[in-house]
A and B are shown apart, each in its own frame.
Chain A
Amino acid sequence: MAAAASMMPIFGHQISSKNDLVPDWSREEVSTGTTIMAVEYDGGVVIGADSRTTTGAYIANRVTDKLTRIHDRIYCCRSGSAADTQAIAEVVSYQLGFHSVELDEPPLVETAANLFRASCYRYREELMAGILVAGWDRRKGGQVYCVPIGGMLVRQPVAVGGSGSTYVYGFMDSNYKPGLNKDQCLELTASGKVVAGHAGSWSPQDLTLCVLQLCLWPWRGTAPAAASSGWPPSLRTAWSGGSFWETSCPGSPLTERAHFLCSCYMC
């Protein structure tokens, strides 16, 4: 966030340097102090994001949806400046929609990732956007592409991003292995977010999770801070095999810890 302050537009500086009466959050740019993750598995991807948007120290929105739909089976996880990432996502959505109609078939995730990269790289001086593009297509199945600040493009089986991702690297390194199935990926993502929340921002957060795959519609739900009793019945039925917490909780020490942490911090 220190980097954000140094990149402030000029009018911001005029107010800040002269006026201590104005709180810092009225002149900071809106940013997502974020943890975003995406994991690919055979047949789809699981993506997750926290739900906090900040302007300086003030939480402007605590129920933000950082998982943005680009196309039916392609989503992006946004981190960095909220305005920049929203604008880029809108542009890419438009371009991809047009492209898909021209081709008369669902677009490839690689195409979406390249469109993000093109915008992020061309306007790299003006933008501050770190994006994970994830989705499913017929050719290569579930894919995750990382487009960090500066406009690089690289495909990875699992990716994390945002300022809170630093807290998750250790967790991901020790717990991720190739060949996980969907349940394991969900568990990994949820636990990772909790770890980030606990270590990074010391406050309860809602987790947004989303699963994209061939046969199920994009399933998304906000994992509540409380345990499975807080799980809405509609989502429980949408998720085959019972509620999210039920299917992934039993046994594993990892999810027990996650469960415990969640119940300590109430919204």
Chain B
Amino acid sequence: MSSIGTGYDLSASTFSPDGRVFQVEYAMKAVENSSTAIGIRCKDGIVFGVEKLVLSKLYEEGSNKRIFNIDRHVGMAVAGLLADARSLAEVAREEASNFRSNYGHDIPLKHLSDRVAMYVHAYTLYSAVRPFGCSFILGSYDKDDGAQLYMVDPSGISYGYWGCAIGKAKQAAKTEIEKLQVRRLYSRQKQKLKLIYIVHDEVKDKAFELELSWVGDVTNGRHELVPKDVKEEAEKYAKVRLYETECSEFYNSCETAGPPASMLGVRSVLQVVCGKRCCRRSTWTCFLFQDSLEEEDDSDEDNM
């Protein structure tokens, strides 16, 4: 992964001696520097979740969206260079609109993703242009074909998925998705949203905004942002479950390793496991471990 392509990586029109096009690989690295985006295909729809890292408190909430509407039944979640992603969203919109104008019905998602992937691929052929530095996930729902999910990466390949993740924490996210057995889920089930929260929490110490959108039976085939009340309910559920899981993991590790050596040890362990965001909930977590943390009293909660 960290091999340097000296001399063979200056343009996309050059192969290296071992058959790689380095510019395309560098473009994929650009995607991996960005925060995570996840798409999951359920029985009756698609859910997208994007973790938007908020770099400044002065940013207006909801600006720089990373989920786009391509057509009324198609949504797109992106990771990577946002400017590149925006121009590709525009390309996808034109494709979908031209198809509708020529053929009179909604574009099938496989066709759309093939067309946009062809476009992305075209930019990997010449030295005059650079490849697009973004990957994106396209999702749609249709009564006849059901839910569909495709992912396109900077090399111009598109694959269909049951669940996929792009960006920083994509490995962790993929692991979580595999645990979920996505084929059996329905859009409204909160397990998905919890998953997004788990993965997003992997990034510590950074404020983030969670963008959620879905398309499916629940929205009558239209791609929309998840309504605020559903999102908040899911977030609450996700946070509770998340801490439960982590604390139970901790508890299990306590049991196997024996009681903690000291209060300090416990505190530091709790901090590492649950993250600083857990601080305010420490009374709850402490309640769970009453027997091992007997000496913990309420005055400690603010210090943790």
B114 contact set on A, CB distance < 8 A = 102
Q: Is A113 positioned at the interface, with any CB of B under 8 Å from its CB?
A: yes
A99 and B110 CA atoms in complex are apart in Å by 13
Q: For chain A, residues 52 to 104, give those with C-beta under 8 angstroms from any C-beta of chain B.
A: 99, 102-104
B144 contact set on A, CB distance < 8 A = 138-139
What's the nearest-Cβ distance from chain A to residue B153, in Å?
22
Q: Is B59 positioned at the interface, with any CB of A under 8 Å from its CB?
A: no
Q: Is A205 positioned at the interface, with any CB of B under 8 Å from its CB?
A: no
A111 and B144 CA atoms in complex are apart in Å by 16
Q: What would 7 more interface pairs be, CB under 8 Å, given A138-B144, A153-B104?
A: A102-B114, A103-B111, A111-B105, A113-B104, A114-B103, A114-B105, A115-B102
Q: Is the CB of B102 within 8 A of A118?
A: yes
* Binary CB contact string for chain B from 105 to 116 against chain A (1 if under 8 A, 0 otherwise): 100101100100
State the main secondary structure of chain B at its contact with A: helix
What's the nearest-Cβ distance from chain A to residue B213, in Å?
26
Q: Is A108 positioned at the interface, with any CB of B under 8 Å from its CB?
A: yes
Q: Is the CB of B108 within 8 A of A110?
A: no
A115 contact set on B, CB distance < 8 A = 102-103
Q: Is the CB of B102 within 8 A of A114?
A: yes
Residue positions of B touching A, CB distance < 8 A: 102-105, 108, 110-111, 114, 144
A115 and B102 CA atoms in complex are apart in Å by 7
Residue positions of A touching B, CB distance < 8 A: 99, 102-104, 108, 110-111, 113-115, 117-118, 138-139, 153
Q: Which of B102, B103, B105 has the most CB of A within 10 A?
A: B103
A104 and B145 CA atoms in complex are apart in Å by 14
A113 and B105 CA atoms in complex are apart in Å by 11
What's the nearest-Cβ distance from chain B to residue A76, in Å?
16
A115 and B103 CA atoms in complex are apart in Å by 6
Give the contacting residue for B103; candidates A99, A138, A139; CB below 8 A.
Answer: A99
Q: Is the CB of B105 within 8 A of A110?
A: yes
| Nearest B-chain residue to A117, judged by Cβ | B104
| Nearest A-chain residue to B115, judged by Cβ | A102
A153 contact set on B, CB distance < 8 A = 104
B108 contact set on A, CB distance < 8 A = 103
Query: With A138-B144, A139-B144 as given contacts, are A110 and B104 in contact (CB-CB < 8 Å)?
Result: yes
A145 and B103 CA atoms in complex are apart in Å by 14
What's the nearest-Cβ distance from chain B to residue A171, in Å?
31
A108 and B99 CA atoms in complex are apart in Å by 13
Q: Is the CB of A111 within 8 A of B104?
A: yes
Chain A to chain B: the 3 pairs with minimum beta-carbon distance, closest first: A114-B104, A111-B103, A139-B144
A113 and B102 CA atoms in complex are apart in Å by 10
A103 and B144 CA atoms in complex are apart in Å by 15
What's the nearest-Cβ distance from chain A to residue B26, in Å?
32
**What are 7 sample pairs from A and B whose C-beta atoms fall under 8 A apart?**
A108-B103, A108-B105, A111-B103, A111-B104, A114-B103, A114-B104, A115-B103
